[in-house]
Chain A
């Protein structure tokens, strides 16, 4: 068993490897970590590299994958690529859920029954409150996409990112997702992290190394400590949570990450429940 496989088995390292498929997005959310928007640099990882990372992650002993962005479904090859990646490891794909045209939905039928979960952002059961954060008509399009994906047998998770959420609001959200056929265990609520555009919007909680699980995260710019690491502020890529510029072979950043984890002071641990 490799050192990385042992660290994952012993829960020293989380089992999931994240990939930033791209940085551009059709939305411009107020709290976006990566300042993603339609016109930003794409910083695309590419289908070939995504498949290489998946294969190397499995060989090293990691147990699952996550794909995020930007909006990954802006990439024409995404569905085919995640389908192939899912043959290697279970995968969750984060999306804003607004790009599921009829053609995309039909393409997604191939994901039914595969170890793939499509995690869609929905921040409020109130369309106005949701759309204030995520853009005009977002609520309607997202709810329609969830409904259509579930009807095609695709596993859907719902991620709610919120500054504050009271019990009543949470209950309304849960009624909504249950009604759409999404189970409670597939609804995650997470805080806004004060990085990227959230800084300028005055939103979120401050984080540091000890707040974030050390989930190896591969981007076009390097490997990071966490998917909350390769953020962008003022158009400039953050480097404070950069592990290495080298990402291939994956063994190299994985070993550096393990070394960093083992060098942390005893008692340090992830404090935020952000997955």
Chain B
């Protein structure tokens, strides 16, 4: 799969290349510029700053990516999670390298991770107990955004895995420094 560079970026994609390498996801979707044009603002809203704390969002993204076994997203969001303040051991636990219960004791975060495991780790409805537990800690708009975040992450997990998107050398170097490869 060719990752387009700035020289080959279609007209609608050019703005996304102005700040340098836009990353493998944008450089791939750029092949269909009208889709990139619609997708990137949505992804920026979902994965960028919002009403939810960055730490909370990275719990959802990294845990979901681990459940769907997306190498690209696990590696990219291990870095994002560390930047959002998660400890290295928390990152490892979210990735499945160690029990979650040892690292996450806060009631809201435990309820959220149970919710993510139910949304991304199985099919069919989420049990009322898991839903009620989440709702006891988060407001309705938060639950909606968190669930959409898990779903959006799943979409990208499958996209990146199916197309075998490469993790950037810079990201790999950072992961190596943090012993997270």
For A241, what are the chain B residues with a Cβ–Cβ distance below 8 Å?
A: 10-11
Q: Which residues of chain B are near A225, meaning CB under 8 Å?
A: 11
- The answer for the CA separation of A260 and B37 in the assembled complex, in Å, is 12
A231 CB to nearest chain B CB (Å): 12
State whether B10 touches A240 (Cβ < 8 A).
yes
Q: Which residue of B lies closest to A214 (CB)?
A: B11
- Bound complex: CA A200 to CA B90 (Å): 55
State whether the Cβ of A201 lies closer than 8 Å to any Cβ in chain B.
no
A240–B34 touching, CB < 8 Å? no
Q: Tell me which residues across on chain B come within 8 A of A252, comparing CB atoms.
A: 34
- Looking at A73-81, A94-102, A124-132, A243-251, the stretch in contact with chain B turns out to be A243-251
**Complex interface bits, B1-24 against A, C-beta within 8 A gives 1, otherwise 0:** 000100111111000000000000
For the complex formed, measure the closest distance between the CB of A221 and the CB atoms of chain B, giving whole angstroms.
10
| Interchain CB contact under 8 A, A239 and B32 | no
Q: How far is the CB of B138 from chain A (nearest CB, A)?
A: 39
Interface residue? A147 (CB, 8 A): no
Asked whether B12 lies within 8 Å of A243 as measured between CB atoms, the reply is yes
Q: How many residues of chain B get a CB closer than 8 Å to chain A's CBs?
A: 14
Is there a chain A Cβ closer than 8 Å to B151's Cβ? Answer: no
Q: How many residues of A contact B (CB 8 A)?
A: 14
Do most interface residues of chain B lie in helix, strand or loop, or is the interface mixed? helix
Q: Scoring A residues 234 to 268 as 1 if CB is less than 8 Å from chain B, else 0, what string do you get?
A: 00001111111110000010001000100000000
Mark each residue of chain A from 211 to 238: 1 if its CB lies under 8 Å from any CB of chain B, else 0: 0000000000000010000000000001
Asked if A239 contacts B34 (CB within 8 A), the reply is no
Tell whether A188 is near chain B: CB-to-CB under 8 Å: no
**Cα–Cα distance between A273 and B143 once the two chains are bound (Å):** 58
The answer to whether A133 has its CB under 8 Å from any CB of chain B is no
Contact A239–B12 (Cβ < 8 Å): no
Is the Cβ of A244 less than 8 Å from the Cβ of B7?
A: no
B55 contacts A by Cβ under 8 Å: no
Q: When chains A and B are docked, how far (Å) is the Cα of A244 from the Cα of B32?
A: 7
Nearest chain A CB to B2 CB, angstrom units: 9
CB 8 Å contact bits of B26-51 with A (1 = contact, 0 = none) = 00001111110100000000000000
| Cβ of A27 to closest chain B Cβ, rounded Å | 27
Chain A residues contacting B37 (CB-CB under 8 Å) are: 256
Question: Which residues on A sit within 8 Å (CB–CB) of B32?
Answer: 245
**Measured between alpha carbons, how far is A79 from B4 in the docked complex, in Å?**
38
**Which residue in chain A gives the minimum CB-CB distance to B4?**
A239
A244 (CB) vs chain B CBs: closest residue = B34
Q: How far is the CA of A28 from the CA of B159 in the complex (A)?
A: 40
Over the window 196-220 of chain A, the binary record of Cβ atoms lying under 8 Å from chain B Cβ atoms (1 yes, 0 no) is: 0000000000000100000000000
- Are A242 and B7 in contact (CB-based, < 8 A)? no
- In the complex, the chain A residue whose C-beta lies closest to that of B7 is A240
Q: Report how far A256 CA is from B10 CA in the complex, Å.
A: 12
CB neighbours (8 Å) of B9 from chain A are 239-240
A50 CB to nearest B CB, Å: 22
Please determine whether A245 and B33 come into contact, CB atoms closer than 8 angstroms: yes
Instruction: List, in ascending order, chain B residues with CB within 8 A of A209's CB.
Output: 11
Cross-chain pairs A/B with CB under 8 angstroms, 9 sampled: A239-B9, A240-B8, A242-B10, A243-B10, A243-B12, A244-B12, A245-B33, A256-B37, A260-B11
Known: A225-B11, A244-B12, A245-B34. 15 other contacts (CB 8 A): A239-B10, A239-B31, A240-B8, A240-B9, A240-B10, A240-B11, A241-B10, A242-B11, A243-B33, A245-B32, A246-B34, A252-B34, A256-B34, A256-B37, A260-B12
